[in-house]
Chain A
Amino acid sequence: DGGITQSPKYLFRKEGQNVTLSCEQNLNHDAMYWYRQDPGQGLRLIYYSQIVNDFQKGDIAEGYSVSREKKESFPLTVTSAQKNPTAFYLCASSSRTGTAYGYTFGSGTRLTVV
């Protein structure tokens, strides 16, 4: 079955450490997105990519980096520059860059700073 796989489900980061969250999809979707969700808040866009080898900053890109070397993969790196990284991270994809098609989400990664 097609879908989006995020790993790991839980991740612990030490202060000053970079960590990478994985997102893989086999839906043949062109567009992929990374969101951050904090308790009681909506989804905030970190980065998005419409095609391979291209990506754009979202509303809260500072302290994060991404790559899109393959259509199926869109990993997110949380760098040490992100001062408050503890959150629930969601990866999503859509079949068109236009928004009439909705998003399919991965199961999420919960990142905690220890």
Chain B
Amino acid sequence: GQNIDQPTEMTATEGAIVQINCTYQTSGFNGLFWYQQHAGEAPTFLSYNVLDGLEEKGRFSSFLSRSKGYSYLLLKELQMKDSASYLCAVGSNYQLIWGAGTKLIIKP
């Protein structure tokens, strides 16, 4: 079967760094996506990895290891507005397979 696992909830402090992990087992692989979703809103695109390694984009970075079926999203200099759910998704054949999302709570 196809499976994507990520922690249900994480808590971090404003100004700190947090790493959200994602492991996957899928029948195909066309890349791994991270999306941010604020409560009651649509997901918005954060990052895309198709090759192994680290992709950096401002305060956000995403890492991929295809051999390990593993990715992480790294958020630096956390701000209160980063409180949201972070969804990991894998491109497999004709669609994206989604994880359940990690709810990130930022405390002052």
- Residue of chain B at shortest CB distance from A108: B42
The number of chain B residues touching the other chain, given as a range, is: 20 to 34
- CB atoms of B95 and A107 under 8 A apart: no
Q: How far is the CA of A99 from the CA of B97 in the complex (A)?
A: 10
- Tell whether, in the assembled complex, residue A48 and residue B95 are in contact, meaning their CB atoms are under 8 Å apart: yes
Residue of A nearest to B44 (CB): A105
Contact indicator A102/B33 (Cβ below 8 Å) = yes
Chain A residue numbers with a CB within 8 Å of B31 are: 99-100
A2 contacts the other chain (CB 8 A): no
A102-B45, A108-B42 given; A40·B8 CB < 8 A = yes
Residues of B within 8 A of A48 (CB): 94-95
Closest residue on chain A to residue B101 by CB atoms: A42
Tell me, in angstroms, the Cα distance from A40 to B96 when the chains sit together. 18
Say yes or no: is A78 at the interface (Cβ < 8 Å to chain B).
no
Q: How far is B40's CA from A88's CA once the two chains are assembled, in angstroms?
A: 8
- Counting chain A residues whose Cβ lies within 8 A of the other chain, the interface size class is 20 to 34
A88→B42 CA distance, assembly (Å): 10
Collect the chain B residues with CB atoms within 8 Å of residue A42's CB.
Answer: 4, 87, 98-101
* Distance between A82 CB and nearest chain B CB, rounded to angstroms: 20
Question: A97 on the interface (CB 8 Å rule)?
Answer: yes
CB of B92 within 8 A of chain A?
yes
Residues of B within 8 A of A110 (CB): 40
Which residues of chain A from 91 to 114 have a CB within 8 Å of any chain B CB? 97-100, 102-108, 110
A50 to B95, CA, bound (A): 10
Chain B contacts to A: CB under 8 angstroms:
4, 8, 30-31, 33, 40-45, 48, 50, 87, 91-96, 98-101
Q: Which residues of A contact B (CB under 8 A)?
A: 33, 40-45, 48, 50, 58, 88, 90, 97-100, 102-108, 110
Sample of 10 more A-B contacts, CB < 8 Å, known A33-B95, A41-B100, A48-B95: A42-B4, A42-B98, A48-B94, A50-B94, A58-B95, A99-B92, A99-B93, A102-B96, A103-B43, A105-B44
4 nearest A-B pairs in the assembled complex, by CB-CB distance: A99-B91, A105-B42, A42-B100, A42-B98
